[in-house]
Amino acid sequence: MSETQTIRVGLGDRSYNIDIGHGLLSTLGKRLAPFTNRRHVAIVTDGNVAKHHLASVEESLTAAGITHASVIVDPGESSKSYAGLATVCDGLLAAGVERNDLVLALGGGVIGDLAGFAAAVLRRGVRFVQVPTTLLAQVDSSVGGKTGINSPHGKNLVGAFHQPQYVLIDLSLLETLPQRERRAGYAEVAKYGLLGDAGFFNWLEEHAGDVIAVKPGSVDHAVATSCQMKAKIVAEDETETGVRALLNLGHTFGHALEAATGYSGKLLHGEAVAIGMVQAFRFSAKLGLCDPSLGSRVAKHLKAVGLPTHMRDISFNWPNAGELLRFMRQDKKASGGKLTFILVKGIGEAFIAKDVSDQHVLDFLNEDFART
């Protein structure tokens, strides 16, 4: 087993640790024991993750004298729904979960968001821990306490801030993750460099292949650097009244693209973010905020790892610019009818831009559609 790195998310009496390393799952039971009141844990996971990793989790819990029950939902975004929430809440209640019990979210961002939200509302709030199994969840969704489900009106519109008690990141779990999912998660890794750490982005330009191949050393550095940045931002602004919005680089465009494709397998969240980040750089250049060559540099890097970087890379009949703008308005980042964008002055120099004019967005999207 390689060295374990620990990152602290500093939130006063709700602070918690993130442990990162290879092969940590076998130690999960021992690590969770201090968080359990009656040595009982309720696991929420999905069918894919259960197939690969549930037995190891159960073994580790049993070895530590912790009893367990499981709720297994269908894999995919469709479980992050009212129906999925009912399945998880009722499954946890049927499994006898009490107010002081611990829920364990074992899976990607869908499971973390869903199980975390179920934990936030079940019996008016039970504690939970995150064991993220996708790259996206390890670098982003398992940290920071955003939980929730989607509504027919849009993504993540029903939710709560509910911080986990602990996050265990076993990098070895990524070995069973399909390549396409690894690449999609990589977009969120690149996001950290692009929003606030040019040196990290330079490093990624050299090492992205090793990160996606889960190479020890490289993947550790990428995940720990990402979690460190996220922990710092969350500690500063837990409920996104300010600086936390920077984590949405590429997301206003990206969420509109996801919504347009109906959250289908056509476009994964990380793929939408990859296209959205390139758009954010190009839009910033169009507004005269950054060097126009940066959009191409970002696109070149993301393309090299196999990510889409433009709407035309996805075979889909995209709606027109006005329709995409309408999807953007549904985004949580719209406030008082005005859109908020995360724009850039350079690599690692993102900032929050409120009051971006609709006409500028429409002009940019029309130009972007025409880009060859």
3 state SS of 123: helix
> What does the per-residue mask of binding to ligand GLY show for 246-265, with x meaning CB under 6 A?
-x------------------
- Selecting among 3, 124, 153, 206, the annotated active-site residue is 124
> Is 146 marked active-site?
yes
> For this structure, is 123 an active site residue?
no
Instruction: Using CB under 6 A, pick the residue from 21, 116, 132, 144 that binds ligand GLY.
Output: 144
Question: Would residue 22 show up in a list of annotated catalytic residues for this protein?
Answer: no
- Which letter, b or e, does each residue of 313-344 get, where b requires 16 or more Cβ atoms within 10 Å of its Cβ? ebeeeebebeebbebbebbbbeeeeebbbbbb
Contact 90, 66 (CB under 8 A): no
Please report whether residue 333 would count as binding ligand GLY according to CB under 6 A.
no
Q: Facing residues of 369 across strands?
A: none
Nearer to ligand NAD, 58 or 181 (CB): 181
**Binding to ligand NAD in span 164-183, by CB under 6 A:** 173, 176-177, 181
Give the one entry of ligand NAD, ligand GLY, none that residue 110 binds, where binding means its C-beta sits below a cut-off of 5 to 8 angstroms depending on kind.
Answer: ligand NAD
Q: Which does residue 111 touch among ligand GLY, ligand NAD, none (CB within 5 to 8 A, set by kind)?
A: ligand NAD
Q: Which residue is nearest to ligand NAD (CB)?
A: 109
Q: Which does 244 bind (CB under 5 to 8 A by kind): ligand GLY, ligand NAD, none?
A: ligand GLY
User: Contacts with ligand NAD: how many residues (CB under 6 A)?
Assistant: 29
DSSP 3: P
By beta-carbon proximity to ligand NAD, the closer residue of 175 and 355 is 175
> Does 155 participate in binding ligand GLY (rule CB under 6 A)?
no
Block residue for tokens 């972007």? 368
Q: Mapping DSSP to helix (H, G, I), strand (E, B) and coil, where does residue 158 land?
A: strand
The single residue of 77, 188, 238, 258 carrying the catalytic annotation is: 188
Q: Residue 369: exposed, middle, or buried by beta-carbon count in 10 A (0-12, 13-18, 19+)?
A: middle
* For helices 251-260 and 269-286, angle between their N-to-C axes, nearest 10 degrees: 130
Of 91 and 145, nearer to ligand GLY (C-beta) is: 145
Q: Which two tokens stand for residue 33?
A: 């024991």
Say how many CA atoms lie within 13 Å of 99 toward its Cβ. 2
Give me the DSSP letters along 169-228.
EEGGGGGGS-HHHHHHHHHHHHHHHHHH-HHHHHHHHHHHHHHHTT-TTHHHHHHHHHHH
Q: Which of 53, 191, 248, 333 is catalytic?
A: 248
48 is a site residue for ligand NAD (CB under 6 A): yes
Minimum distance from residue 146 beta carbon to ligand GLY (Å): 5
| Size, binding site for ligand GLY by CB under 6 A | 6
CA distances from 362 to 165, 219, 353, 368 (A): 43, 38, 16, 10
Residue 212 makes CB contacts below 8 A (sequence gap 6+) with: 135, 179, 182, 183, 186, 305
- Which of 70, 267, 46, 1 lies closest to 137 in space, CA to CA? 46
Q: By the criterion CB under 6 A, which residues form the site for ligand GLY?
A: 140, 144, 146, 240, 244, 247
Catalytic residue positions, numbered: 124, 146, 188, 230, 240, 244, 248, 251, 255, 269
Residues that bind ligand NAD (CB under 6 A): 46, 48-49, 52, 75-77, 80, 107-111, 113, 133-134, 136-137, 140-141, 144, 146, 156, 173, 176-177, 181, 184, 269
